[in-house]
Amino acid sequence: MDSFLIEGGLPLSGEVTISGSKNAVLPILAATLLTSETCIIRRVPDLSDVGFMLKILQSLGAEVTRDGDTLTIRAANISGRGDYELIRKMRGSICILGPLLARLKEAVVSLPGGCVIGTRPIDLHLKGLRGLGAQVEVEAGYVRVHAPRLEGQMIFLGGRVGPTVLGTANLMMAATLASGITVIESAACEPEVVDLADFLIAMGAKITGAGSPTITIHGVKALHGADHEVIADRIEAGTFAAVAAATGGEVTLRGARPDHLGAVLDKLQEAGAEIRRAAGVLTVRGTGSLKPIDITTMPYSGFPTDMQAQLMALACQAPGTSIITERIFESRFMHASELMRLGADIAIEGPSAIVKGGRPLSGAPVMASDLRASAALVIAGLAAKGSTQVHRVYHLDRGYERMELKLQKLGARIQRTPGE
């Protein structure tokens, strides 16, 4: 397994171009299954998760070609059975369930895998599909859904920790071809849901309210091909913003969407970073005078759970006590023990991490446990004195496009070391 070798302690400065959103592109790729016509998807990031999704589409019978960051997909003749060996590797693969059911009236999809950051059941996905009239069975590691006819209904999709993003996406895609009107109450409001809705509308769907807790879908008989550009990845942008703040550098993020980063930018400013906004450009400068922060993760537009680990790495640099509370996933503090190997002072008390910052960090070998934990360890390694080796960076490759190359352009001393 590959690792990153980092020589830290340098302020990083320069420009980085933000790639297309991982969390937006996966359901958009699944949505191409809703039509037999050709779809063109632009600004597709080169990520291992995207590669897995493309293999899943091809295993279902779709034709896929890639030219740079542009994908051309034609799902003219497809089957409704998802391959276990592919789907088990990625949580986001469950979003093929809704479009397969809508298009073929039945589907068999294995239960998905992904990062080990806590229990992420798909009960709300299945509740939504049942609400449209589907018969659902879960057995032997597979989900089987069948519906000769999908009927629009009002469906409440709220869960224990708030709305479900992929569940909202799955139900929205299934409802596009249902009869009548579907109203999703307590829908996820994330920008990635809005981007999916924009793509579906370009395909001929009738959707209103995306980005709000109530989404209304008027079913249509068929969808057609479309040409769509994926939004910028707000989590990648937030991660590089944290790099600037943690290292005391200045990084300009080209293509970033400040309107998608409100809670993150607010906390970075609270931590002492300077933020400058301009059309299509966001600049973050670390002042070298960091302050402690208090963060609680929440559904959008609150502070995103996908930025919690990165801001914990930043909090390690800030003199004083920071409190970070995780309300979305119960097992998302596995990076804390690895940050402590670098010299951080962190105590976990229930859903909260108490970070006593300001202690100098020193390089050490660390092990990444999941995608965003990997990013946190890279940030800490860049800020620490000496050498840090981050093992298992295949997690990073799931959600960051050539991260080490982008960091090198900012002046980082970071190299990928091939695994055995």
Tell me the pLDDT of the chain averaged across its residues.
Answer: 94
- Please check whether residues 131 and 263 belong to one and the same domain: no
Higher-scoring residue by pLDDT: 280, 3: 3
Residue among 262, 247, 236 nearest 375 (CA): 236
Same-domain pairing of 297 and 217: no
Q: Give the pLDDT score at 117.
A: 40
Tell me the per-residue pLDDT of 17-62, one tens digit each, with 9 for 90 and over: 999 999 999 999 999 999 999 999 999 999 999 999 999 999 999 9
Single out the residue in 229, 250, 268 at which a domain terminates.
Answer: 229
How far apart CA 21 and CA 44 sit, in angstroms, is 8
Last residue of a domain, one of 229, 253, 273: 229
CB 404 within 8 A of CB 6: no
Q: Is 227 helix (H, G, I), strand (E, B) or coil?
A: strand
Give residue-wise pLDDT tens across range 162-196: 899 999 999 999 999 999 999 999 999 999 999 99
Per DSSP, 72 falls in state: E
Torsion sign over Cα 189, 190, 191, 193 = negative
Last residue of a domain, one of 229, 262, 297: 229
Is the confidence at residue 115, as pLDDT, over 70? no
Pairing of strands 352-357, 250-254: unpaired
Q: Are residues 14 and 103 in the same domain?
A: no
Q: Assess whether 239 and 185 both reside in one domain.
A: no
What are the two backbone dihedrals, phi and then psi, of residue 319, each rounded to the nearest 5 degrees? -60, 135
Confidence (pLDDT) at 93: 87
Share of the chain above pLDDT 70, in %: 98
User: Which amino acid is it at 288?
Assistant: G
Q: Which amino acid is at 174?
A: A
Q: Give yes or no for a contact between 393 and 375, defined as CB atoms under 8 angstroms apart.
A: no
CA gap 161, 155 in Å, rounded: 17
By residue range, what is the domain housing residue 298? 3-18+232-417
Q: What is the CATH number of the domain that holds 132?
A: 3.65.10.10
pLDDT of residue 84: 75
Judgement on whether residues 242 and 329 belong to the same structural domain of the protein: yes
Mean pLDDT of 330-341: 91
Same domain, 135 and 205: yes
Q: How confident is the model at residue 332 (pLDDT cuts 50, 70, 90)?
A: confident
- Catalytic residue status for 95: no
Rg (CA), the chain: 21
Q: Choosing from 39, 95, 115, 189, which is the catalytic residue?
A: 115
14 and 26 part of one domain: no
Q: Give residue 114's pLDDT.
A: 46
Residue 30's alpha-carbon distances to 55, 78, 100, in angstroms, are: 11, 12, 9
Expressed in percent and rounded to 5, the helix, strand and coil fractions of the chain are 35, 30, 35
- 201 and 293, same domain (yes or no): no
| CA dist., res. 30 & res. 250, Å (int) | 37
Residue 416 buriedness (CB in 10 A; 0-12 / 13-18 / 19+): middle
Split into its structural domains, the chain has a count of: 2
Q: Does residue 353 contact residue 335 with C-beta atoms inside 8 Å? A: no
Compute the distance between CA of residue 49 and CA of residue 395 in angstroms, rounded to an integer: 10
Could you tell me if 302 and 361 lie in one domain? Answer: yes
- Average pLDDT rounded to a whole number, residues 308-328: 97
CA–CA gap between residue 227 and residue 199 (Å, rounded): 8
Same domain, yes or no, for 343 and 398? Answer: yes
Classify burial at 278, counting beta carbons within 10 Å of its beta carbon; exposed 0-12, middle 13-18, buried 19 or more.
exposed
Q: Are residues 410 and 348 in the same domain?
A: yes
- Confidence (pTM): 0.96
Cβ(236)–Cβ(227) under 8 Å? no
Instruction: Give residue-wise pLDDT tens across range 370-394.
Output: 999 999 999 999 999 999 999 999 9
Model confidence at 420, pLDDT cuts 50, 70, 90, reads low
Is a pLDDT exceeding 80 seen at residue 313?
yes
Nearest to 94 by CA among 110, 81, 105: 110
Q: Quick check: 252 and 212 in contact, CB under 8 A? A: no
Q: Is the dihedral of CA 388, 389, 395, 396 positive or negative?
A: positive
Rounded CA separation 11/389 (Å): 19
- Separation between Cα atoms, residue 228 and residue 231, nearest integer Å: 10
Sheet holding 387-391, edge to edge: 365-367, 387-391, 3-7, 413-417
Answer yes or no: do 291 and 371 share one domain. yes
Q: How far apart are CA 259 and CA 210, in angstroms?
A: 16
pLDDT, average across residues 71-97: 87
